[in-house]
Structure 1
Amino acid sequence: MKILLSGAVILALWMGVGTYWYTCQVKGLCANSTASDSVSGSKAPLKKPPIPKPVKTAKWLILQDGQALFAFSDFPHLKQDAASVMLPDPATSFSDSIYNYLLAHPNKYVTITGKYTADEVYEGLFANLGEARADKIRQMLVEAGANPDRIRIAGQEENLSFDAGGNSSGGIAIELHTMNAKVEEVVDKGITNRTLYADFGAVKFQPDPTLASYAAEVKAYLEKHASALAHVTGHTDNVGSTATNMKFGRWRASKVRNYFVSQGIPSKRIKVDTKGMDAPIASNETEEGRAKNRRIEVHIK
């Protein structure tokens, strides 16, 4: 009997070590692994963004349909002839505030208007310097987790005042609006066909703000389209066997499904599938290509 028990213990230990080695070292799915499951790098664990406190002297107002929604005690700062936008400490939480609002209001979108003067010098990809400045703010919102399809940018010529050092306060206007049919069409197209790169491949799953935002949008979309289903498909790189990668693809897709369910989406509206390593979108010969292939695709139809 003792020999049988000892053999069972040794077998269990061997299986546990083998599973750890394959999962962590070969596939790189453990939390402390150096392998990445994200093309752009993983974000910090999801936190509830801070809500700005009321300020006694409001300078920079973020509007909703013409009415003040958020107020900050200092303006963004611009540099003459430059696209850069510097945010002083009192205004740095603006991106978290807007992200939080969009998370709770899936029918809203953002317009960002960057100001510029006619005599400012600009050579770049955008139509004017104001639009380039607006894009800097757009990037901050996207990094906070906002859906880029829900952000519009524009430039507006205005008589900005620059000091002797070429500095100006203000020059950025942000307003939230209710979506019209044209904006909703663009946003819905992005919601129904989305490729996700996040930490869903790690053993310890931690949703990031981008996934939280997307889950809220998927929930709202399914509520509007009663017959639609979300098809969640897991993909992997070519490291390991075909059978094992099919397993990991389904495992990753299941993590996204479980998170969607935790956010209030009925499980019966979600279908999970796996393609394993059979549908790469990049070469598996490089780490960058393999990282692109480790993904989740969501199609709603």
Structure 2
Amino acid sequence: MSKRTTNLIGILLTILAGIFFYYQLCSSCGAAVAEDAPVEKVVAPAVPETTSYPFALSDVGYSCNVNDNYNFNVSSSTILTPLATAVNDCIGSLKTYLGDQSDKVMNITGFYKSDENNNSAFPNLGLARANAVKNHLVEQGISSTQINTFGQLKEEMISKDNIYYGPVSYSLETEAANAMDDMKALRDKINADPLVLYFDTAEASISLTAAQRQKIADISRYIDKVADASCNVVGHTDNTGKASTNMRLGQNRADFAKDYLMKNGISGTKINASSKGQTQPVATNASEDGKAKNRRTEVTLK
């Protein structure tokens, strides 16, 4: 082999060796860069934890605390059933305790959020939920005279699957000495400025203002707290049509209002519905405005 050929082979081997080592080194460098490069992490948005409030209350000689409660759908004051066995057990022991302690009262506070739709007759869904719980406890044998109801705005509540878990709290206390004086003052206040529901001609439907909702809450409270209390619901009409027809229409309106109050937790046995027809106008029937004022149902307390 000539010297020239040997040199050419040497040059070719050198080039091939250089190419080989180049790719080896570049591959290692690339891997090192890839390993050292920061990796962007995709963080999923945090899911708010569902709130849940227990059925818990205590007093001297009594305590009950279970990790369950009354539950409600969002924008609803209807209790979801069935209740947990532990809750029913607490209700049973609470009935016994309150039966033995006649001077004790139970405070029920229902929670609600400002973005919920309130389709109840009460000022807010919290109070409506508290009244729903109160009515259930009364069905279990606890006296309504030993129950107070309240509503509380609680924006931090988080629902799950359209359900609020336990949006109700409880406490026990001794009944205030002037409680009956407060009830008498409440009755006088309501009768001085009765709940008045207005109706369109020949119609019986109810649309409540905020002030009317508060009056219904006050009426419900009085009837609950005073053992022999009741309310009178009297239907009135304008003078359009026959007097006999208007007497029936007034009764229909009174019955409609009674049914509405019953659906919102006031016992039907505590509601007396009657009609005065067109016989007791509060304004002239010579104008449409006057007739509108005469088409009404008034609710007062006895």
Larger Rg: 2
TM-score, structure 1 normalization: 0.39
TM-score, structure 2 normalization: 0.39
